[in-house]
A and B are shown apart, each in its own frame.
Chain A
């Protein structure tokens, strides 16, 4: 079977259990089993090639530029692990079918399990380290889901997060390591990397890469000091513990160390780091395991210990060590998975896993007893079982290993580890199955149905077969070892046999077994010492670190982002000024190319007023009406400034904009308090003053700089000046720029204006729906009203002016193309004319006489402008291309017709609509605020009846 299908099968199959969930539990487990079985058989079809020493490969380019490709390879090592993953997977699925209860969502469980299986197969078949990383992290993620499978258990949630965090951290470190490795070699393909031992080990980045990769391996394989997550992962359902956390996933780190063995091992750094970590883990794991009362916790720490053992073997860097490691991986997978399943059976039947509440199960659960005892004895290293063989090899290797120049260190520690290892195995057997039968089990224990005991039984058969006839496993283990060594070393000649003669390893084994028995005898006093001794509780520490990190993060982030806008603005401004100053101070100031104009008294007076108004605003801004007036002065002076600089168009625009703005702001101020309260401390105001002054000085600086200097070459405005009449048909360059040269900008800006008005409308609309409405309804004016809201003088005057204003607007509009004016200004002028009617006679009265919905006017304006632009498409010209012609309709003079005028109509309409809609929106607030409204144009009208007038007030 193609390797692609092999990897893809579990992923694709992961869809099935969820789908089949409602078809029943057996159907659900059945499809899962079928998927795994297909993959298993598919793997076996590749066996002949692997046995022949070939490496099966498959390749699809994914990201060739990066070097991340979908490259797979199957050699002895990969085959071995894939066999474990799929083979044990099949047993786990069968076991899981019977283990999960009716309340559990089996579809979800098997979906996660298959995702994990696919990821794991992916790891062992990857021929690309980046691809391997992807599968690597996928196992962390699927493990996260499986540990947290029982969502209601806090241990499950915490264990899942802990596992994800620790292995995720390792994964991230490994990303770094793999990238460095790839950069050294120039390829991320394992097959290439593995050929470059000298290159990698000579590179100065070897050590960082090694440490980063080992971080990944150690976290995944629960090596000290990252071992603590594994026991907490036992909150997962037992099939998961047996599968992920003993047989397969935790061996991923070891797999990777074996995979990288040819290029990374053999250096002093590798030897010291890996051997030490393995040795320490082995001993610590074994000691803790002895004192655990929860069967699964005991097994978890024993797993940690055995992983340490294998790591140590790989760390020695010898071919024999590698072979022993491979053999032990096989043996450990068989006996440990069997033990976990047995623990699950006991939990399932006796409803407890606490060793202190068990005992005497030998007669009650004979089948389980046989299975668990054989597996545990193998783990203890008792002859005729497979654990003995690889443990002997380990002790043999330990005898030849000298760490830190202390020859006895490794052998002694290895023996100590073995003593404790034997002790916890004996305790497991003795305290669970032997002893008197109790009468206080939480449930009556009995042997489970075959579905539960058969899978571990199959494994135990393997334990015994390999243990009795090691030569059966020998060729296979040597094949695997050969692919680990990758030609860097010879496969050792040593034969697998039970009796090696009276070698030191045998004595160490005997010491371990006897020592284990003695330890078990003195278990009670030993436990008292253990319980009395202070020791760090990993979970507490981890949770404390995470909580501390979260608290620290909150302390750092939340106060900084608490919505204090003036601080946001201050920080932003300081950053901007700082960056600008840096740019200024690192540049060269050239000589001025223009001379400053002499200032005449009028200009100075205008400037003086501008400054006075601005300074006044700073001091008087708490009085809102006054500040509005001061802002008005500023606007006015800016308008005059435009006149001074010969820009009448801008001046007119600015002036009309000022008028409209002031009117709208006055309306808005009507609903606000008259003064702004003092809310900030003196210190903060000092800070704001400093920032503002710095900003002002900076702005002055660049403005002054540019005022005295010409552009590097002719500005584009020269072109506009030269071609305004010729190309745009208008002598008013500003208008031609607005509607022709850069009509597209204007198009955008009228849209901005229109949106702003729609927005004001939407805002008031939502305000009126909310709590603001009640406040408006209960609002009491804070100042006495004049009484005459619609004075006759004003009504009469505005009526008279109205046609004049309209005419002026029309005139300004028409002349815009050649003289100062245009649609924008005309729109504002006409708006002012209409607004005056509203002011004079009130909103209701005026709007009753206007029949155009302002939304529509805005829409129409933007549409007209847009359609004018589109019109040029019909003569095959780009959007907004203008044209003009001169026509003569007697008796008038010849006049110009320009398409730009049509565009200007759009501008005009949008402006009128926007201003009026804003006004209407504010007025809606006013009407809510119980402002009296009349149906008459003015409150006091001599021509009306006295009763009428009274009624209106």
Chain B
């Protein structure tokens, strides 16, 4: 019996209390343990992803209880991909937090960071809906802690909105879970899939309401319009490395939708048809429009990036909302891209902040470290706006291609392409003001000289850009892989078999004789 599958949850969950217990006054020790833990996470996640890449579905029965009675973790190709993405992102973000000394501007950064990782990892790995709720809580509370790290009035105010809106989401999650349990009597996802099939077509209200409420919970996490209001100010006000880590948080919502709405409520299930397949795509398109218009409207760089995140996540949602294998494959490719690009841009916004003291989109004297920061911004903007040669462009092609044969094709194409143009305009204006117009501003010698960002900060951003480049160069392989993942999602027998047919405690005859 191996325990690697639970390691991504347990490792940070043990590191965090250890840091609180033993090293809460020693930033050096915290950093060492935090980095070591994340590096280990990458290795473990890579091994898990490798193991799952051939279609193996690994399961882990907590407390040795078989599904659906106990909680299980499931490592299939989808969840391990997300786990690996999280781990890799975490390392870049962590290096930046250390390089920029953000971690030392408040208390408990590393402990909360590890708890946050635990929550994200758990949310990706669990095969149980209630356990998913628990991990949503963990990552919500930890993210709130990280968000208000280092304090400040604006940040605290944004934090209150963030946590309040997400508490609405949590309440809704409980309503949805209550409904689902009342309707089906189970919480295990694979078991739910089996039981939804038993529902009488003449008694569908319960499951219909439950499935919609659940989708809305995930839509809040994924910042789908009109449930996105919590995102702009909280991401903009959060400390940069935290905002960068949050790039994966919206994807948790996207992941959950992919998982639940291919496994439990796939498009061909009659009792829940005519619901999310009806309105999710228009909502996603609206999000795309709002996000990219927001890019053009923003008056500060951090808000601009926050809106870009909404737009970028909306591209993922557009692709998911097609609920076809090609759509999901494109969405998964785009999720990786969007996560890395958003994180890079948040960090770049912080490079700007470091170099000139603020992120207002007004002409000011050239910032410290302008040349390198400008180059990185240019690349990051290209990625986010979906221009060649980076993966944003390939992702956009994939989404457009996936939408080709659908009823909504014209709308998808028009909105995707027009919003791309708007975001190009927005990014070009921002970059031109930040990096070019600065040269025409006369500045006096006694202006406050801001420090140049540290080398480690640049290394962290460079690493993200490097990953984006790899994601582009190996686009064929990655997309091939996401296509295989999508195929397994629409043919979930392997998943269901592994989850439901693995015996646990008391399901073994030998064990039963003991008592």
Contacts and interface: CB of A to CB of B under 8 A. Distances in A.
A770 B230 CA distance: 25
Contacts of A741: 63, 65, 69-70
A572 B108 CA distance: 32
Given A713-B195, A715-B181, A744-B131, A587 B205 contact: yes
B20 A859 contact: yes
A160 B24 CA distance: 51
B153 A770 contact: yes
Interface in B463-509: 475-476, 479-480, 483, 505-506
B94 to A, nearest CB: 18
Contact of A727 (B1, B157, B182, B506): B506
Interface stretch (A36-44, A833-841, A861-869): A861-869
Contacts of A758: 20, 107-108, 111-112, 145
B428 A557 contact: no
Contacts of A589: 203, 205
Given A148-B432, A754-B17, A745 B209 contact: no
Contacts of A878: 1, 3, 6, 60-64
B138 interface: yes
A553 B296 contact: yes
Contacts of B226: 571-572, 575
Contact of B382 (A141, A550, A726): A141
Interface stretch (A80-88, A387-395, A487-495, A698-706): A698-706
Contacts of B227: 572, 575-576
B141 A63 contact: no
Contacts of A169: 421
Interface stretch (B81-89, B242-250, B434-442): B434-442
Nearest to B148: A763
A859 B274 contact: no
A568 B400 contact: no
Contacts of A716: 68-69, 185-188, 191
Interface residues of A, number: 128
B275 A586 contact: yes
Interface stretch (B211-219, B339-347, B447-455): B211-219
A745 B161 CA distance: 27
Given A557-B307, A727-B506, A748-B131, A179 B400 contact: yes
Contact of B63 (A579, A711, A744, A762): A744
A121 to B, nearest CB: 14
Contacts of A587: 204-209, 271
A579 B307 contact: no
A550 B378 CA distance: 20
A619 interface: no
Contact of B71 (A586, A723, A745, A860): A745
Contacts of A553: 293-294, 296-297, 422
Contact of B185 (A62, A561, A715): A715
A591 to B, nearest CB: 8
B122 interface: yes
Contacts of A858: 17, 20
Contacts of A569: 164-165, 168
B337 interface: no
A835 B81 CA distance: 46
A134 B134 contact: no
A779 interface: no
A337 B472 CA distance: 36
Contact of B475 (A62, A151, A719, A770): A62
Interface in A532-565: 546, 549-550, 553-554, 556-558, 561, 563, 565
A324 B260 CA distance: 61
B65 A752 contact: no
B178 interface: yes
A176 B515 contact: no
B47 interface: no
Contacts of A173: 417
B237 to A, nearest CB: 10
Residue among B135, B164, B209 with most chain A CB within 10 A: B209
A265 B138 CA distance: 61
Contacts of B112: 755, 758-759
B276 to A, nearest CB: 9
Contacts of A568: 161, 165, 229-230
Interface stretch (B29-37, B38-46, B351-359, B388-396): B388-396
B396 A711 contact: no
A554 B505 contact: no
A873 B60 CA distance: 12
A876 B389 contact: no
Interface in A25-82: 61-66, 68
A154 B440 contact: yes
Interface string B284-300: 00000010011011110
B476 A64 contact: yes
Given A550-B429, A553-B296, A586-B275, A571 B229 contact: yes
A921 to B, nearest CB: 11
Contact of A744 (B62, B165, B204, B233): B62
A66 to B, nearest CB: 6
A133 B297 contact: no
B17 A748 contact: no
Most chain A beta-carbon contacts within 10 A, residue among B184, B233, B476: B476
Contact of B296 (A157, A550, A719): A550
A120 interface: no
Given A161-B429, A563-B157, A65 B145 contact: no
Contacts of B206: 587, 702, 705-706, 709
B317 interface: no
Contacts of B52: none
A295 B290 CA distance: 44
A136 B393 CA distance: 12
A881 B436 contact: no
B505 to A, nearest CB: 6
B14 A546 contact: no
A576 B213 contact: yes
Nearest to B122: A748
Nearest to A701: B209
B141 A586 contact: no
A582 B439 CA distance: 56
B389 A134 contact: yes
Interface in A147-168: 148, 151-154, 156-157, 160-161, 164-165, 168
A63 B397 CA distance: 11
A711 B183 contact: yes
B294 A719 contact: no
A135 B401 contact: no
B411 interface: no
A179 B274 CA distance: 29
Nearest to B21: A859
B232 A766 contact: no
A367 to B, nearest CB: 35
Contact of B182 (A133, A579, A711, A720): A711
Contacts of B420: 172
A812 interface: no
Given A726-B515, A878-B1, A134 B388 contact: yes
A818 to B, nearest CB: 16
Interface in B385-419: 387-389, 393-394, 396-398, 400-401, 404, 413, 417-418
Given A741-B70, A754-B17, A880-B62, A748 B135 contact: yes
A602 interface: no
14 contacts: A550-B297, A556-B297, A568-B230, A588-B202, A589-B203, A590-B204, A712-B183, A712-B184, A712-B200, A713-B185, A759-B144, A765-B107, A859-B20, A872-B64
10 interchain residue pairs of minimum CB distance = A590-B203, A766-B151, A715-B185, A859-B21, A711-B185, A568-B229, A587-B205, A706-B182, A134-B388, A748-B134
Given A751-B115, A881-B63, 10 more contacts: A137-B388, A148-B432, A587-B205, A587-B207, A590-B202, A716-B191, A748-B137, A754-B17, A759-B148, A878-B64
